[in-house]
Amino acid sequence: MSTPSVSYSITIRLELPAQPAAVSRLTSVIEGAGGLVTAVDVSESGVEYLRVDVTCATGGEEDAARIVKAVREMSGVRIGPVSDRVFLAHLGGKLSIESKAPIRHRDDLSMIYTPGVGRVAQHVADHPEDAVRLTIKRNCVAVVTDGSAVLGLGNLGPLGALPVMEGKAALFKRFAGIDAFPLCLDTQDVDEIVATVRHVAPVFAGINLEDISAPRCFEIERRLRAELDIPVFHDDQHGTAIVTLAALTNALKVVGKKIEDVKIVQSGAGAAGSAILRLLQLSGARDVVVTNSRGVLHRGRTDLHSELRWMAENTNPRGLTGTLEEALAGADVFIGVSAPHIVSEQAVASMAPRSIVFAMANPTPEIEPEIAARYAAVVATGRSDFANQINNVLAFPGVFRGLLDAHSHVVTDEMLLAAAKALAGVVKDEELNATYIVPSVFNPSVTTTVAKAVQTVAEREARPAQAIDATAQIAAIRA
Protein backbone atom coordinates (compact mmCIF):
# COMPACT_ATOMS: atom_id res chain seq x y z
CA MET A 1 0.00 0.00 0.00
CA SER A 2 1.21 3.51 -0.87
CA THR A 3 1.01 6.59 1.34
CA PRO A 4 -2.51 8.09 1.10
CA SER A 5 -2.69 11.40 -0.77
CA VAL A 6 -5.47 13.87 -1.49
CA SER A 7 -4.52 13.60 -5.18
CA TYR A 8 -6.10 10.13 -5.09
CA SER A 9 -9.02 10.88 -2.79
CA ILE A 10 -12.48 9.38 -3.33
CA THR A 11 -15.95 9.91 -1.96
CA ILE A 12 -18.14 6.83 -1.47
CA ARG A 13 -21.90 7.19 -1.06
CA LEU A 14 -23.38 4.29 0.91
CA GLU A 15 -26.11 3.21 3.26
CA LEU A 16 -25.32 1.83 6.73
CA PRO A 17 -27.52 0.16 9.31
CA ALA A 18 -28.67 2.69 11.92
CA GLN A 19 -26.53 1.18 14.67
CA PRO A 20 -24.36 3.03 17.25
CA ALA A 21 -21.03 1.64 16.02
CA ALA A 22 -21.81 1.64 12.31
CA VAL A 23 -19.73 4.69 11.38
CA SER A 24 -16.73 3.73 13.50
CA ARG A 25 -16.82 0.24 12.00
CA LEU A 26 -16.85 1.78 8.52
CA THR A 27 -13.84 4.04 9.18
CA SER A 28 -11.93 1.12 10.71
CA VAL A 29 -12.48 -0.99 7.60
CA ILE A 30 -11.36 1.85 5.31
CA GLU A 31 -8.23 2.58 7.32
CA GLY A 32 -7.48 -1.13 7.56
CA ALA A 33 -7.50 -1.25 3.75
CA GLY A 34 -4.98 1.60 3.56
CA GLY A 35 -7.24 4.64 3.31
CA LEU A 36 -7.23 7.80 5.39
CA VAL A 37 -10.73 9.02 6.23
CA THR A 38 -10.96 12.83 5.97
CA ALA A 39 -14.73 13.40 6.19
CA VAL A 40 -17.94 11.55 7.03
CA ASP A 41 -21.14 13.39 6.11
CA VAL A 42 -24.62 12.07 6.81
CA SER A 43 -26.82 13.08 3.85
CA GLU A 44 -30.00 11.28 4.90
CA SER A 45 -31.30 9.36 7.89
CA GLY A 46 -34.16 6.87 8.30
CA VAL A 47 -35.46 4.66 11.07
CA GLU A 48 -33.26 1.75 10.04
CA TYR A 49 -30.48 3.30 7.93
CA LEU A 50 -28.01 6.16 7.50
CA ARG A 51 -27.01 7.45 4.07
CA VAL A 52 -23.39 8.58 4.34
CA ASP A 53 -20.79 10.21 2.08
CA VAL A 54 -17.38 9.13 3.29
CA THR A 55 -14.31 10.82 1.83
CA CYS A 56 -10.89 9.24 2.11
CA ALA A 57 -7.40 9.73 0.75
CA THR A 58 -5.87 6.69 -0.95
CA GLY A 59 -2.46 5.71 -2.24
CA GLY A 60 -3.55 5.35 -5.87
CA GLU A 61 -6.13 3.77 -8.13
CA GLU A 62 -5.31 0.21 -7.01
CA ASP A 63 -5.57 1.21 -3.35
CA ALA A 64 -8.89 2.97 -4.04
CA ALA A 65 -10.30 -0.17 -5.68
CA ARG A 66 -9.20 -2.29 -2.71
CA ILE A 67 -10.86 0.13 -0.26
CA VAL A 68 -14.14 0.09 -2.17
CA LYS A 69 -14.03 -3.71 -2.29
CA ALA A 70 -13.48 -3.89 1.49
CA VAL A 71 -16.43 -1.58 2.14
CA ARG A 72 -18.63 -3.50 -0.30
CA GLU A 73 -17.98 -6.70 1.63
CA MET A 74 -19.21 -5.24 4.94
CA SER A 75 -22.46 -6.81 6.10
CA GLY A 76 -25.48 -4.52 5.90
CA VAL A 77 -23.71 -1.92 3.75
CA ARG A 78 -25.04 -0.90 0.33
CA ILE A 79 -22.58 0.90 -1.96
CA GLY A 80 -23.77 3.78 -4.15
CA PRO A 81 -21.72 6.03 -6.48
CA VAL A 82 -17.94 6.27 -5.98
CA SER A 83 -16.50 9.62 -7.05
CA ASP A 84 -12.88 10.50 -7.79
CA ARG A 85 -12.57 13.97 -6.21
CA VAL A 86 -9.74 15.05 -8.52
CA PHE A 87 -11.82 14.33 -11.62
CA LEU A 88 -14.81 16.07 -10.04
CA ALA A 89 -12.64 19.17 -9.53
CA HIS A 90 -11.89 19.21 -13.27
CA LEU A 91 -15.44 18.77 -14.57
CA GLY A 92 -16.08 21.49 -17.15
CA GLY A 93 -12.52 22.73 -16.82
CA LYS A 94 -11.02 25.02 -14.19
CA LEU A 95 -11.28 28.35 -16.02
CA SER A 96 -13.96 30.75 -17.18
CA ILE A 97 -14.02 34.21 -18.77
CA GLU A 98 -15.99 36.96 -17.09
CA SER A 99 -16.68 40.51 -18.20
CA LYS A 100 -15.26 43.26 -15.97
CA ALA A 101 -17.83 45.72 -17.31
CA PRO A 102 -21.56 45.35 -16.62
CA ILE A 103 -23.86 45.00 -19.63
CA ARG A 104 -27.26 45.91 -18.18
CA HIS A 105 -28.94 48.03 -20.84
CA ARG A 106 -28.54 49.66 -24.24
CA ASP A 107 -26.20 52.39 -22.96
CA ASP A 108 -23.79 49.79 -21.58
CA LEU A 109 -23.98 47.87 -24.84
CA SER A 110 -23.21 51.00 -26.85
CA MET A 111 -20.09 51.71 -24.79
CA ILE A 112 -18.77 48.16 -24.41
CA TYR A 113 -19.47 47.24 -28.01
CA THR A 114 -20.60 49.07 -31.12
CA PRO A 115 -20.64 51.95 -31.75
CA GLY A 116 -18.50 53.12 -28.82
CA VAL A 117 -15.85 50.43 -29.14
CA GLY A 118 -15.03 51.67 -32.63
CA ARG A 119 -13.48 54.83 -31.21
CA VAL A 120 -11.25 52.80 -28.92
CA ALA A 121 -10.30 50.42 -31.72
CA GLN A 122 -9.23 53.29 -33.94
CA HIS A 123 -7.27 54.88 -31.11
CA VAL A 124 -5.36 51.66 -30.36
CA ALA A 125 -4.64 51.20 -34.07
CA ASP A 126 -3.22 54.73 -34.22
CA HIS A 127 -1.43 54.46 -30.86
CA PRO A 128 -0.36 50.79 -30.33
CA GLU A 129 1.42 51.68 -27.11
CA ASP A 130 -1.98 52.31 -25.53
CA ALA A 131 -3.04 48.66 -25.97
CA VAL A 132 -1.61 47.89 -22.54
CA ARG A 133 -3.84 50.59 -21.08
CA LEU A 134 -7.06 49.95 -22.94
CA THR A 135 -7.18 46.17 -23.53
CA ILE A 136 -6.72 42.85 -21.77
CA LYS A 137 -3.10 42.91 -22.94
CA ARG A 138 -2.19 44.92 -19.84
CA ASN A 139 -2.54 41.92 -17.53
CA CYS A 140 -2.63 38.85 -19.78
CA VAL A 141 -0.13 36.02 -20.22
CA ALA A 142 -0.21 33.11 -22.68
CA VAL A 143 0.65 29.69 -21.24
CA VAL A 144 2.05 27.92 -24.30
CA THR A 145 2.82 24.22 -24.70
CA ASP A 146 3.03 21.56 -27.37
CA GLY A 147 2.33 18.79 -24.87
CA SER A 148 5.65 17.08 -25.50
CA ALA A 149 6.87 16.88 -21.88
CA VAL A 150 3.86 17.08 -19.57
CA LEU A 151 4.86 16.83 -15.91
CA GLY A 152 6.60 13.46 -15.56
CA LEU A 153 4.13 11.81 -17.93
CA GLY A 154 5.91 12.43 -21.22
CA ASN A 155 4.48 13.33 -24.62
CA LEU A 156 0.72 13.59 -24.03
CA GLY A 157 -0.01 16.01 -26.86
CA PRO A 158 -2.11 19.18 -26.71
CA LEU A 159 -5.30 17.74 -25.23
CA GLY A 160 -3.42 15.78 -22.58
CA ALA A 161 -1.60 18.97 -21.65
CA LEU A 162 -4.74 21.10 -21.39
CA PRO A 163 -5.71 20.22 -17.77
CA VAL A 164 -2.19 21.10 -16.64
CA MET A 165 -2.14 24.40 -18.51
CA GLU A 166 -5.57 25.27 -17.10
CA GLY A 167 -4.13 24.65 -13.65
CA LYS A 168 -1.18 26.90 -14.44
CA ALA A 169 -3.53 29.67 -15.53
CA ALA A 170 -5.53 29.24 -12.32
CA LEU A 171 -2.34 29.66 -10.28
CA PHE A 172 -1.47 32.86 -12.16
CA LYS A 173 -4.85 34.27 -11.15
CA ARG A 174 -4.81 33.01 -7.57
CA PHE A 175 -1.33 34.15 -6.63
CA ALA A 176 -0.68 37.19 -8.84
CA GLY A 177 -4.04 38.38 -10.14
CA ILE A 178 -2.87 37.76 -13.71
CA ASP A 179 -5.26 36.68 -16.48
CA ALA A 180 -3.57 33.72 -18.16
CA PHE A 181 -4.89 31.56 -20.96
CA PRO A 182 -3.75 28.08 -22.04
CA LEU A 183 -2.59 27.73 -25.65
CA CYS A 184 -1.99 24.03 -26.32
CA LEU A 185 -0.60 23.80 -29.85
CA ASP A 186 -1.28 20.86 -32.14
CA THR A 187 2.26 20.84 -33.50
CA GLN A 188 5.70 19.94 -32.21
CA ASP A 189 7.55 21.57 -35.07
CA VAL A 190 9.84 24.35 -33.84
CA ASP A 191 9.17 26.66 -36.80
CA GLU A 192 5.40 26.27 -36.50
CA ILE A 193 5.45 26.86 -32.74
CA VAL A 194 7.51 30.02 -33.09
CA ALA A 195 5.31 31.32 -35.91
CA THR A 196 2.08 30.57 -34.04
CA VAL A 197 3.20 32.30 -30.86
CA ARG A 198 4.46 35.26 -32.86
CA HIS A 199 1.06 35.60 -34.54
CA VAL A 200 -0.96 35.53 -31.29
CA ALA A 201 1.51 37.63 -29.28
CA PRO A 202 -0.28 41.00 -29.79
CA VAL A 203 -2.98 39.91 -27.31
CA PHE A 204 -0.52 39.21 -24.49
CA ALA A 205 1.92 41.08 -22.26
CA GLY A 206 4.06 37.97 -21.69
CA ILE A 207 4.61 34.40 -22.85
CA ASN A 208 5.04 31.52 -20.40
CA LEU A 209 6.41 28.43 -22.16
CA GLU A 210 5.54 25.17 -20.45
CA ASP A 211 6.15 21.43 -20.80
CA ILE A 212 8.08 21.55 -24.10
CA SER A 213 10.74 18.87 -24.40
CA ALA A 214 14.47 19.55 -24.62
CA PRO A 215 16.42 20.40 -26.66
CA ARG A 216 13.67 22.00 -28.80
CA CYS A 217 12.59 24.20 -25.89
CA PHE A 218 15.94 26.01 -25.94
CA GLU A 219 15.63 27.03 -29.59
CA ILE A 220 11.97 28.01 -29.20
CA GLU A 221 12.77 30.26 -26.27
CA ARG A 222 15.78 31.86 -27.96
CA ARG A 223 13.90 32.61 -31.16
CA LEU A 224 10.83 33.99 -29.43
CA ARG A 225 12.93 36.24 -27.24
CA ALA A 226 14.63 37.58 -30.34
CA GLU A 227 11.42 38.09 -32.32
CA LEU A 228 8.94 39.40 -29.72
CA ASP A 229 8.79 42.68 -27.81
CA ILE A 230 7.27 41.03 -24.71
CA PRO A 231 9.01 38.88 -22.09
CA VAL A 232 9.33 35.15 -22.79
CA PHE A 233 9.80 32.90 -19.75
CA HIS A 234 10.19 29.12 -19.84
CA ASP A 235 8.94 28.09 -16.42
CA ASP A 236 10.38 24.57 -16.58
CA GLN A 237 13.77 26.23 -16.93
CA HIS A 238 13.77 29.55 -15.16
CA GLY A 239 11.03 29.01 -12.57
CA THR A 240 12.70 25.83 -11.39
CA ALA A 241 16.10 27.52 -11.36
CA ILE A 242 14.87 30.46 -9.27
CA VAL A 243 13.30 28.29 -6.58
CA THR A 244 16.26 25.88 -6.54
CA LEU A 245 18.75 28.70 -6.06
CA ALA A 246 16.61 30.28 -3.32
CA ALA A 247 16.35 26.93 -1.52
CA LEU A 248 20.07 26.27 -1.88
CA THR A 249 20.92 29.74 -0.60
CA ASN A 250 19.07 29.02 2.62
CA ALA A 251 20.20 25.40 2.88
CA LEU A 252 23.81 26.52 2.71
CA LYS A 253 23.14 28.91 5.59
CA VAL A 254 21.76 26.01 7.62
CA VAL A 255 24.88 23.86 7.08
CA GLY A 256 27.35 26.75 7.30
CA LYS A 257 28.84 26.47 3.80
CA LYS A 258 29.35 28.93 0.91
CA ILE A 259 28.28 28.36 -2.67
CA GLU A 260 31.73 29.15 -4.05
CA ASP A 261 33.30 26.44 -1.86
CA VAL A 262 30.91 23.51 -2.23
CA LYS A 263 31.03 20.58 -4.63
CA ILE A 264 27.70 20.28 -6.42
CA VAL A 265 26.51 17.24 -8.37
CA GLN A 266 23.48 17.73 -10.59
CA SER A 267 21.51 14.88 -12.12
CA GLY A 268 19.55 16.04 -15.15
CA ALA A 269 20.72 18.07 -18.12
CA GLY A 270 17.40 18.94 -19.72
CA ALA A 271 15.45 22.17 -19.60
CA ALA A 272 15.42 22.53 -15.81
CA GLY A 273 18.97 21.27 -15.39
CA SER A 274 20.37 23.71 -17.95
CA ALA A 275 18.76 26.73 -16.31
CA ILE A 276 19.68 25.65 -12.79
CA LEU A 277 23.29 25.24 -13.83
CA ARG A 278 23.50 28.70 -15.39
CA LEU A 279 21.92 30.38 -12.37
CA LEU A 280 24.15 28.49 -9.95
CA GLN A 281 27.23 29.60 -11.84
CA LEU A 282 26.05 33.20 -12.04
CA SER A 283 25.65 33.02 -8.26
CA GLY A 284 29.26 31.97 -7.78
CA ALA A 285 29.23 28.16 -7.88
CA ARG A 286 32.61 26.96 -9.16
CA ASP A 287 32.59 23.17 -8.81
CA VAL A 288 29.50 21.72 -10.51
CA VAL A 289 29.39 18.25 -12.05
CA VAL A 290 26.41 17.45 -14.27
CA THR A 291 25.26 13.94 -15.15
CA ASN A 292 22.70 12.55 -17.55
CA SER A 293 21.44 9.01 -18.09
CA ARG A 294 24.82 7.98 -19.49
CA GLY A 295 26.94 9.37 -16.68
CA VAL A 296 29.07 12.42 -15.98
CA LEU A 297 29.29 15.12 -18.65
CA HIS A 298 32.94 15.75 -19.47
CA ARG A 299 34.92 17.08 -22.40
CA GLY A 300 35.89 13.64 -23.62
CA ARG A 301 32.33 12.55 -24.37
CA THR A 302 31.37 12.40 -28.04
CA ASP A 303 27.61 11.76 -27.67
CA LEU A 304 26.54 15.29 -26.72
CA HIS A 305 24.31 17.76 -28.59
CA SER A 306 25.17 21.46 -28.51
CA GLU A 307 23.51 22.27 -25.17
CA LEU A 308 25.14 19.29 -23.43
CA ARG A 309 28.45 20.12 -25.08
CA TRP A 310 28.26 23.60 -23.54
CA MET A 311 27.63 22.03 -20.13
CA ALA A 312 30.55 19.64 -20.51
CA GLU A 313 32.88 22.48 -21.43
CA ASN A 314 31.77 24.81 -18.63
CA THR A 315 31.49 22.42 -15.67
CA ASN A 316 33.41 19.59 -14.02
CA PRO A 317 36.67 21.45 -13.23
CA ARG A 318 38.17 18.30 -11.64
CA GLY A 319 37.63 16.29 -14.83
CA LEU A 320 35.50 13.55 -13.27
CA THR A 321 34.20 10.68 -15.37
CA GLY A 322 32.01 7.71 -14.54
CA THR A 323 28.58 7.37 -12.97
CA LEU A 324 26.36 9.60 -10.86
CA GLU A 325 27.00 7.40 -7.83
CA GLU A 326 30.76 7.78 -8.25
CA ALA A 327 30.46 11.55 -8.64
CA LEU A 328 28.50 11.86 -5.39
CA ALA A 329 31.39 10.62 -3.26
CA GLY A 330 32.53 13.62 -1.20
CA ALA A 331 30.00 16.00 -2.76
CA ASP A 332 28.37 18.68 -0.59
CA VAL A 333 25.20 19.13 -2.65
CA PHE A 334 23.05 16.89 -4.83
CA ILE A 335 20.47 18.49 -7.11
CA GLY A 336 18.21 16.06 -8.96
CA VAL A 337 15.89 17.00 -11.82
CA SER A 338 15.95 13.65 -13.55
CA ALA A 339 14.35 10.28 -12.79
CA PRO A 340 13.00 8.28 -9.84
CA HIS A 341 15.10 6.08 -7.59
CA ILE A 342 18.45 6.56 -9.34
CA VAL A 343 20.38 7.49 -6.18
CA SER A 344 21.15 4.79 -3.63
CA GLU A 345 21.35 5.10 0.12
CA GLN A 346 25.06 4.26 -0.10
CA ALA A 347 25.65 7.15 -2.50
CA VAL A 348 24.13 9.69 -0.11
CA ALA A 349 26.11 8.15 2.74
CA SER A 350 29.30 8.77 0.74
CA MET A 351 28.66 12.51 0.45
CA ALA A 352 30.49 15.08 2.55
CA PRO A 353 29.41 15.77 6.15
CA ARG A 354 26.38 18.06 6.49
CA SER A 355 25.37 17.44 2.90
CA ILE A 356 22.35 18.82 1.05
CA VAL A 357 20.04 16.66 -1.09
CA PHE A 358 17.46 18.16 -3.44
CA ALA A 359 15.67 15.15 -4.99
CA MET A 360 13.16 16.94 -7.22
CA ALA A 361 12.00 14.32 -9.72
CA ASN A 362 8.21 14.34 -9.58
CA PRO A 363 6.16 12.57 -8.42
CA THR A 364 8.81 10.02 -7.40
CA PRO A 365 12.14 11.54 -6.31
CA GLU A 366 15.64 10.31 -7.12
CA ILE A 367 15.82 8.96 -3.57
CA GLU A 368 13.09 8.77 -0.96
CA PRO A 369 13.51 11.76 1.39
CA GLU A 370 13.26 9.71 4.57
CA ILE A 371 16.22 7.63 3.37
CA ALA A 372 18.28 10.65 2.31
CA ALA A 373 17.61 12.29 5.69
CA ARG A 374 19.52 9.50 7.43
CA TYR A 375 22.73 11.08 6.14
CA ALA A 376 22.01 14.53 4.67
CA ALA A 377 21.55 17.58 6.89
CA VAL A 378 18.96 19.18 4.57
CA VAL A 379 16.60 17.34 2.22
CA ALA A 380 14.12 18.85 -0.25
CA THR A 381 11.82 17.44 -2.93
CA GLY A 382 9.28 18.70 -5.44
CA ARG A 383 6.40 17.12 -3.51
CA SER A 384 3.88 18.85 -1.27
CA ASP A 385 3.69 15.98 1.23
CA PHE A 386 7.28 16.43 2.45
CA ALA A 387 9.08 19.35 4.06
CA ASN A 388 10.91 21.83 1.81
CA GLN A 389 8.86 21.61 -1.36
CA ILE A 390 10.71 23.21 -4.29
CA ASN A 391 7.68 24.35 -6.25
CA ASN A 392 7.67 26.68 -9.27
CA VAL A 393 4.55 28.43 -8.01
CA LEU A 394 6.89 30.17 -5.56
CA ALA A 395 8.44 31.96 -8.53
CA PHE A 396 6.46 32.40 -11.73
CA PRO A 397 3.47 34.42 -10.41
CA GLY A 398 5.74 37.00 -8.79
CA VAL A 399 8.14 37.09 -11.73
CA PHE A 400 5.35 37.86 -14.20
CA ARG A 401 3.67 40.30 -11.81
CA GLY A 402 6.94 42.23 -11.69
CA LEU A 403 7.45 42.04 -15.45
CA LEU A 404 3.93 43.26 -16.21
CA ASP A 405 4.02 46.06 -13.64
CA ALA A 406 7.32 47.28 -15.12
CA HIS A 407 5.99 46.94 -18.71
CA SER A 408 9.17 45.01 -19.39
CA HIS A 409 10.01 43.74 -22.85
CA VAL A 410 12.56 41.14 -21.73
CA VAL A 411 13.55 38.64 -19.08
CA THR A 412 17.16 38.97 -17.99
CA ASP A 413 19.43 36.94 -15.76
CA GLU A 414 19.62 39.84 -13.30
CA MET A 415 15.85 39.55 -12.86
CA LEU A 416 16.09 35.82 -12.23
CA LEU A 417 18.84 36.31 -9.67
CA ALA A 418 16.87 39.09 -7.98
CA ALA A 419 13.82 36.83 -7.80
CA ALA A 420 15.83 34.02 -6.22
CA LYS A 421 17.41 36.36 -3.67
CA ALA A 422 14.04 37.86 -2.79
CA LEU A 423 12.41 34.46 -2.43
CA ALA A 424 15.19 33.21 -0.16
CA GLY A 425 14.78 36.35 1.96
CA VAL A 426 11.12 35.61 2.66
CA VAL A 427 12.39 33.03 5.15
CA LYS A 428 13.83 35.12 7.96
CA ASP A 429 16.97 34.05 9.78
CA GLU A 430 15.00 33.38 12.95
CA GLU A 431 12.69 31.04 11.00
CA LEU A 432 15.37 29.16 9.08
CA ASN A 433 16.05 25.52 9.87
CA ALA A 434 16.69 22.22 8.09
CA THR A 435 12.99 21.62 7.47
CA TYR A 436 12.09 25.19 6.48
CA ILE A 437 14.36 26.57 3.76
CA VAL A 438 11.61 27.82 1.43
CA PRO A 439 8.35 29.53 2.37
CA SER A 440 4.90 28.09 1.89
CA VAL A 441 3.27 28.83 -1.46
CA PHE A 442 0.44 30.35 0.57
CA ASN A 443 2.70 32.83 2.35
CA PRO A 444 1.13 36.14 1.26
CA SER A 445 4.47 37.93 0.98
CA VAL A 446 5.98 35.52 -1.57
CA THR A 447 4.44 36.94 -4.74
CA THR A 448 4.70 40.58 -3.69
CA THR A 449 8.32 40.25 -2.59
CA VAL A 450 9.43 38.48 -5.77
CA ALA A 451 7.39 40.87 -7.95
CA LYS A 452 8.94 43.95 -6.37
CA ALA A 453 12.47 42.60 -6.83
CA VAL A 454 11.86 41.81 -10.51
CA GLN A 455 10.12 45.14 -11.14
CA THR A 456 12.99 47.06 -9.56
CA VAL A 457 15.56 45.38 -11.80
CA ALA A 458 13.39 45.72 -14.89
CA GLU A 459 12.86 49.45 -14.36
CA ARG A 460 16.54 49.97 -13.63
CA GLU A 461 17.66 48.18 -16.76
CA ALA A 462 15.01 49.76 -19.05
CA ARG A 463 17.00 49.27 -22.21
CA PRO A 464 16.44 47.90 -25.74
CA ALA A 465 14.90 44.44 -25.82
CA GLN A 466 17.76 42.00 -25.72
CA ALA A 467 18.52 39.15 -23.36
CA ILE A 468 21.78 39.23 -21.44
CA ASP A 469 24.43 36.79 -22.68
CA ALA A 470 24.63 34.32 -19.80
CA THR A 471 27.50 32.45 -21.47
CA ALA A 472 29.69 35.54 -21.47
CA GLN A 473 28.83 36.28 -17.84
CA ILE A 474 29.67 32.77 -16.70
CA ALA A 475 32.97 32.86 -18.61
CA ALA A 476 33.83 36.09 -16.83
CA ILE A 477 33.02 34.58 -13.43
CA ARG A 478 35.14 31.50 -14.16
CA ALA A 479 38.03 33.72 -15.24
Q: What is the pLDDT of residue 472?
A: 54
* CATH code 3.30.70.260 for 5-90: yes
* Helix boundaries (H) for 344-412: 345-349, 369-372, 396-405
CATH 3.30.70.260: which residues of the chain? 5-90
Q: What is the pLDDT of residue 464?
A: 52
Any idea what DSSP says for residue 352?
A: P
CA dihedral 302, 360, 473, 457 (to 10 degrees): 150
Q: What is the pLDDT of residue 362?
A: 82
Q: Is residue 1 scored above 80 in pLDDT?
A: no
What b/e string do you get for 240-266 counting C-beta neighbours within 10 Å, with b at 16 or more? Answer: bbbbbbbbbbbbbbbbebebeebbbbb
Average pLDDT over residues 433-454: 94
Quick: pLDDT tens for 121-168: 999 999 999 999 999 999 999 999 999 999 878 899 999 999 999 999
Kindly state which CATH superfamily the domain 238-478 is placed in: NAD(P)-binding Rossmann-like Domain (3.40.50.720)
Q: Is residue 115 scored above 80 in pLDDT?
A: yes
Quick: pLDDT tens for 288-321: 999 998 999 999 998 888 888 999 999 999 999 9
**Would you place residue 465 in the very low, low, confident or very high pLDDT band (cuts 50, 70, 90)?**
very low
Q: What are the catalytic residues?
A: 113, 168
CATH no. for 135-230 = 3.40.50.10380
CATH 3.40.50.720: which residues of the chain? 238-478
Quick: pLDDT tens for 96-114: 888 889 899 999 899 999 8
Pairing between β-strand 232-234 and β-strand 140-145 as defined by DSSP bridges: unpaired
Residue 218 C-beta-side C-alpha neighbours within 13 Å: 14
CATH 3.40.50.10380: which residues of the chain? 135-230
Instruction: List CB contacts of 1: < 8 A, sequence separation 6 or more.
Output: 34, 59, 63
Q: Is residue 187 scored above 90 in pLDDT?
A: yes
Instruction: List CB contacts of 470: < 8 A, sequence separation 6 or more.
Output: 278, 282, 413
